[in-house]
C-alpha cells in the first residue's frame, strides 16, 4: 500500500519555479530517501504535504486521504521533524512530550507510557534540564521523540542529520532505523552516505521534478560502469600517465579513468608497464550515489 | 477547535515559567498603590517644598487632595501599563512562527484557530484580571482615605477604559495574525491608536471615537455621561469583535 502519493505537484514563489510537476510515492513500511541539493524544493514539498504551504496545482494523498492546505486532518497520520526543530525552552523534554500528547488527543495513561518509552529511545530519559540548554543533537533527538509520540504511520524528517557532528548523525540514523518497524519514513537529505546507510527507496529531486528514483541498488546499477583510480609512486608521473591513458587527474593527484571496462583496465595496465611508471595503488572504485547525484544534476 | 484546551494550558504555563505572571502581578499592584499614594503624598510634598518655593516667589496655599485626584492619577497611569503590555505581548504569535515553535504542534493537529484563540484568551485573561486587581487596590485605598463625593460613576468609567484596552489588544492580535515580526505588530497597533487620538481633536466626531472611552475623568465628574459616548462604545465593541474574527480568518491563510 502507498502511504504517501504525490501527483503533479507544482509550486512557484514569484517568478521562481520550485516544483514543476513533482510525482512520487512512498510504500508502507519503507524508508524513503528524498535527495536534492540545497534549495531544490525538499522542504517546500514537505511543507505542502503537511498543509503548511499551498500548492499551485497537484494532488497529495496520505493513507488514501487528500491533503488540504491549512489545518489538514491527514496530519493525524504524520509525525514531522523540521530541519531545525525549535521547542519551548522553558519546558523539560518530558513536559514537552506531554503537551504534544495532549494536543494529539491521546489518553493520559498512554501519554505517560509513550513519553517514558520515547525518552528512553532517544536517550533523554535522565535529562532533567530545560530545553533551552540543549545542544543541537539533543534537540534533534527530542524532535524525533515528539514526531513519534502518537505512533504516526508516516514520519517526515527534513534533513535530520545535516547540522550534526558524526556522532550525532550516527545516533539519529540509528533512531530512525529503529523506528522503521512501526512507521514509514520519508527522509530528505543531501548527505548521500546517510541514504546508503538506511534508505530502501530513493528519489533525486532536480529542477522541480524527480530526476531518478528506485531502490539504492537500482540507482547504483544505473551507472554505466565504475571508475579506476591509479596512484603513482612519483607524483611527477601523474601528468604523463594521464596523457597516455586519456584520463583525468583529481586534486590529490590520483589518475581517474572513467567507466573503466575490463578491456580498458588491461589496456591501462599494459600502457603503465610499457612506460615503466611505478604505481603505488590501483583501485576499482564502486559507483556510489554521490557520483550518480553529480551526473544527475549535471556537475 | 482541536487542541484548544491543552494549548491554552500551555499558554498560562508559559506566562508562569517565563515570569510574566510575576512581572505583571508586581506591575498591577504597584500601579494600584501608586495612584492613591501619589494623591495622598502630594499635599505633604508641597508643604515640605513650600518654604523653598516661597523664596522663589511662589506662594502655595492649602493644597488638598480628593478622591478625584487619586482616580485622575490612576486613569493616567493605565495607558503606561497598556503600552508595556502591548510591547511584551506583541511577539506572542509572531515569535512562534519566526522561531518555528508552532510548527510541531500545528502539524500534530492543533488547529490554527485554537492556536490564535488560546493566545488571545490567555492574554485577555491576564490583562483583565490584573487590571481589575489594580483598580480594586486603588478603589479600596481611595475609599479608605477620602470618603468624599468628588467622583461619581467611577466603576462605569473604569469599565469603559477596560473595553478600550480590550479593543487595543484585539487589534494587536489582528495585526499579529498577518505580520511576520513583532515590530510590524507594534507599528500597526500604534498607528490605529495614534490615528484615533489625532481624529479626537475634531470635536464633532469625538463621540464616535473609541479613544473617548479613555476620557474617564469627564465621566467620573459627571461632565459627560455614558449615553453621550454610546456610539463610541458600540464602535469599540464592533472593532473588538471584528479584529478577533478577522485574526482567526487570516491566521488560517498564513503561509508558514
ipTM at complex level = 0.87
- Determine the 3-state secondary structure of A30 from DSSP: coil
pLDDT tier, A287 (very low <50, low <70, confident <90, very high otherwise): low
The pLDDT, as a whole number, for residue A44 is 93
Average of per-residue pLDDT values in chain A: 88
- Residue of A70, A85, A150 lying closest to B252 (CB–CB): A70
**Are A118 and A241 in the same domain?**
no
pLDDT in tens, A28-47: 989 999 998 888 899 999 99
- Residue of B10, B109, B255 lying closest to A75 (CB–CB): B109
What is the spatial distance between Cα A137 and Cα A139, in angstroms, rounded to a whole number?
5
Specify the CATH number for the domain of residue A167: 3.40.50.300
A143 in reach of chain B (CB within 8 A): yes
The pLDDT, as a whole number, for residue A288 is 67
**Are A37 and A102 in the same domain?**
yes
Look at the alpha carbons of B182, B188, B189, B191 in this order and tell me if their dihedral is positive or negative. positive
Subunit contact A71:B112, Cβ cutoff 8 A: yes
By C-alpha distance, the chain A residue nearest B251 is A70
Mean pLDDT of A254-259: 83
The pLDDT, as a whole number, for residue B77 is 93
The pLDDT, as a whole number, for residue B223 is 82
- Residue of A84, A87, A103 lying closest to B110 (CB–CB): A103
Burial A61-78 (b: 16+ CB within 10 A, else e): bbbeeebeeebbebbbbb
What is the spatial distance between Cα A194 and Cα A168, in angstroms, rounded to a whole number?
12
Subunit contact B2:A102, Cβ cutoff 8 A: no
Between B44 and A148, name the one with better pLDDT: A148
How many of the other CB atoms lie within 10 Å of CB of B19?
Answer: 11
Between B49 and A177, name the one with better pLDDT: A177
Q: Which residues of A touch B101 (CB under 8 A)?
A: 86-88
**Are A94 and A212 in the same domain?**
yes
Mean pLDDT of A222-229: 70
The Cβ-side half-sphere exposure at A258, using a 13 Å CA radius, reads 10
- Determine the 3-state secondary structure of B215 from DSSP: coil
The pLDDT, as a whole number, for residue A299 is 63
**Are A214 and A237 in the same domain?**
no
Q: Domain residue spans in chain B? A: 4-253
By C-alpha distance, the chain A residue nearest B17 is A90
Q: Which residues of A touch B3 (CB under 8 A)?
A: 102-105
Is residue B111's pLDDT more than 80? yes
The burial of A19, by beta-carbon neighbours within 10 Å (0-12 exposed, 13-18 middle, 19 or more buried), is given as buried
B208 contact partners, CB below 8 Å, separation of at least 6: B231, B232, B235
**Are A160 and A263 in the same domain?**
no
Of the three residues A188, A221, A254, the one that is the final residue of a domain is A221
Distances from the Cα of A198 to the Cαs of A5, A130, A172, A230, in angstroms? Answer: 21, 31, 11, 31
The pLDDT, as a whole number, for residue A134 is 93
Scanning A82-101 for CB atoms below 8 A from B yields 82, 84-88, 90-91, 99-100
The single-letter DSSP state of residue B151 is -
**Are A78 and A213 in the same domain?**
yes
Q: Which of B98, B107, B250, B256 to mutate to test the interface with A (most CBs of A within 10 A)?
A: B107
A147 in reach of chain B (CB within 8 A): yes
Mean pLDDT of A214-237: 78
- Give percent above pLDDT 90 in chain A: 44
The pLDDT, as a whole number, for residue A102 is 94
pLDDT tier, B1 (very low <50, low <70, confident <90, very high otherwise): low
Q: Which residues of B touch A91 (CB under 8 A)?
A: 13, 17
The pLDDT, as a whole number, for residue A137 is 87
Mean pLDDT of A19-26: 93
Secondary structure percentages of chain B, helix, strand, coil, to 5 = 80, 0, 20
The pLDDT, as a whole number, for residue A223 is 60
The pLDDT, as a whole number, for residue A89 is 95
Is residue B240's pLDDT more than 90? yes
Q: Which of B109, B110, B117, B255 to mutate to test the interface with A (most CBs of A within 10 A)?
A: B109
Specify the CATH number for the domain of residue A233: 3.30.70
**Are A213 and A243 in the same domain?**
no
pLDDT tier, B79 (very low <50, low <70, confident <90, very high otherwise): very high
Q: Which residues of B touch A (CB under 8 A)?
A: 2-3, 6-7, 9-10, 13-14, 17-18, 99-101, 103-113, 252-253, 255-256
Subunit contact B107:A78, Cβ cutoff 8 A: yes
Is residue B250's pLDDT more than 80? yes
The lowest-confidence range among A78-92, A121-135, A173-187, A279-293 is A279-293
The pLDDT, as a whole number, for residue B118 is 97
The pLDDT, as a whole number, for residue B218 is 84
**Are A59 and A179 in the same domain?**
yes
B68 with B39: CB under 8 angstroms? no
Grid cell locating B239: 472593532
State the total domains in chain A: 2
pLDDT in tens, B179-238: 999 999 999 999 999 999 899 888 888 889 999 888 888 888 878 888 888 999 999 999
**Are A27 and A131 in the same domain?**
yes
pLDDT tier, A219 (very low <50, low <70, confident <90, very high otherwise): confident
**Are A248 and A265 in the same domain?**
yes
- Residue of B6, B14, B103 lying closest to A88 (CB–CB): B14
* Cα A54–Cα A187–Cα A285 angle in degrees, nearest 5: 130
Q: A248-249 and A227-232: which strand pairing?
A: unpaired
Mean pLDDT of A50-66: 93
Is residue A259's pLDDT more than 80? no
pLDDT in tens, A182-215: 899 999 988 888 888 889 999 999 888 998 888 8
**Are A160 and A272 in the same domain?**
no
Q: Which residues of B touch A71 (CB under 8 A)?
A: 2, 106, 109, 111-113, 252
Mean pLDDT of B72-97: 94
Range of the domain at A246: 227-296
**Are A181 and A91 in the same domain?**
yes
Is residue B138's pLDDT more than 80? yes
Is residue A224's pLDDT more than 70? no
Q: Per mean pLDDT, which of A91-100, A121-130, A249-258, B144-153 is the most reliable?
A: A91-100
Subunit contact A75:B107, Cβ cutoff 8 A: yes
Order of all β-strands in the sheet with A255-257? A248-249, A255-257, A227-232, A279-285
Mean pLDDT of A78-106: 93
The lowest-confidence range among A163-177, A209-223, B29-43, B169-183 is A209-223
B247 with B174: CB under 8 angstroms? yes
Amino acid at each position: 500500500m502507498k502511504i504517501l502519493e504525490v501527483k503533479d505537484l507544482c509550486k512557484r514563489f514569484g517568478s521562481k519555479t520550485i516544483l514543476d510537476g513533482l510525482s512520487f510515492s512512498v510504500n508502507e513500511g519503507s524508508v524513503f530517501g528524498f535527495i536534492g541539493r540545497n534549495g531544490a524544493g525538499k522542504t517546500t514539498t514537505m511543507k505542502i504535504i503537511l498543509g503548511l504551504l499551498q500548492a499551485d496545482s497537484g494532488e497529495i494523498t496520505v493513507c488514501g486521504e487528500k491533503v488540504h492546505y491549512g489545518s489538514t486532518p491527514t496530519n493525524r497520520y504524520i509525525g514531522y521533524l523540521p530541519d531545525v526543530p525549535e521547542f519551548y525552552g522553558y519546558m523539560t523534554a518530558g513536559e514537552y512530550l506531554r503537551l504534544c500528547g495532549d494536543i494529539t488527543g491521546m489518553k493520559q495513561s498512554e501519554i505517560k507510557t509513550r513519553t517514558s518509552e520515547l525518552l528512553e529511545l532517544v536517550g533523554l530519559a535522565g535529562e532533567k534540564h530545560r530545553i533551552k540548554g540543549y545542544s543541537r543533537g539533543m534537540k534533534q533527538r527530542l524532535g524525533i521523540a515528539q514526531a513519534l509520540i502518537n505512533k504516526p504511520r508516516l514520519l517526515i524528517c527534513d534533513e535530520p542529520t545535516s547540522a550534526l557532528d558524526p556522532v550525532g548523525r550516527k545516533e539519529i540514523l540509528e533512531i530512525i532505523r529503529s523506528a522503521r518497524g512501526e512507521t514509514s519514513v520519508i527522509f530528505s537529505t543531501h548527505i548521500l552516505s546517510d541514504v546508503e546507510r538506511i534508505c530502501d527507496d530513493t528519489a533525486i529531486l532536480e529542477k522541480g521534478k524527480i530526476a531518478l528514483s528506485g531502490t539504492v541498488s537500482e540507482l547504483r546499477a544505473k551507472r554505466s560502469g565504475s571508475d579506476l583510480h591509479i596512484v603513482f609512486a612519483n607524483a611527477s608521473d601523474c601528468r604523463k600517465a594521464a596523457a597516455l591513458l586519456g584520463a583525468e587527474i583529481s586534486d590529490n593527484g590520483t589518475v581517474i579513468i572513467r567507466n573503466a571496462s575490463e578491456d580498458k583496465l588491461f589496456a591501462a595496465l599494459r600502457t603503465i608497464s610499457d612506460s615503466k611508471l611505478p604505481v603505488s595503488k590501483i583501485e576499482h572504485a564502486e559507483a556510489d550515489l554521490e557520483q550518480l547525484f553529480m551526473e544527475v544534476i549535471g556537475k | 477547535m482541536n487542541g484548544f484546551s491543552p494549548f491554552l494550558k500551555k499558554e498560562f504555563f508559559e506566562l508562569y515559567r517565563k515570569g510574566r505572571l510575576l512581572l505583571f502581578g508586581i506591575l498591577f499592584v504597584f500601579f494600584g498603590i501608586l495612584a492613591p499614594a501619589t494623591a495622598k503624598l502630594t499635599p505633604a510634598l508641597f508643604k515640605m517644598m513650600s518654604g523653598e518655593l516661597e523664596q522663589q516667589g511662589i506662594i502655595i496655599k492649602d493644597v488638598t487632595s480628593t478622591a478625584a485626584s487619586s482616580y485622575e492619577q490612576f486613569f493616567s497611569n493605565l495607558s503606561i501599563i497598556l503600552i508595556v503590555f502591548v510591547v511584551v505581548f506583541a511577539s506572542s504569535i509572531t515569535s512562534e512562527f519566526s522561531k518555528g515553535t508552532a510548527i510541531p504542534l500545528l502539524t500534530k493537529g492543533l488547529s490554527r484557530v485554537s492556536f490564535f484563540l488560546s493566545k488571545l484568551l490567555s492574554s485577555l485573561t491576564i490583562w483583565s484580571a490584573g487590571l481589575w486587581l489594580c483598580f480594586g487596590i486603588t478603589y479600596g485605598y481611595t475609599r479608605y482615605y477620602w470618603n468624599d463625593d468628588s467622583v461619581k460613576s467611577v466603576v462605569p468609567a473604569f469599565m469603559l477604559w477596560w473595553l478600550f484596552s480590550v479593543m487595543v489588544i484585539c487589534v494587536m492580535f489582528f495585526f499579529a495574525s498577518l505580520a511576520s515580526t513583532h515590530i510590524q505588530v507594534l507599528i500597526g497597533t500604534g498607528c490605529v491608536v495614534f490615528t484615533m487620538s489625532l481624529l479626537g481633536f475634531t470635536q464633532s466626531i469625538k463621540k464616535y471615537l473609541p479613544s473617548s472611552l479613555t476620557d474617564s475623568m469627564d465621566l467620573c465628574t459627571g461632565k459627560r455621561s455614558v449615553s453621550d459616548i454610546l456610539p463610541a462604545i458600540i464602535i469599540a465593541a464592533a472593532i473588538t469583535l471584528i479584529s478577533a474574527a478577522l485574526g482567526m480568518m487570516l491566521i488560517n491563510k498564513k503561509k508558514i
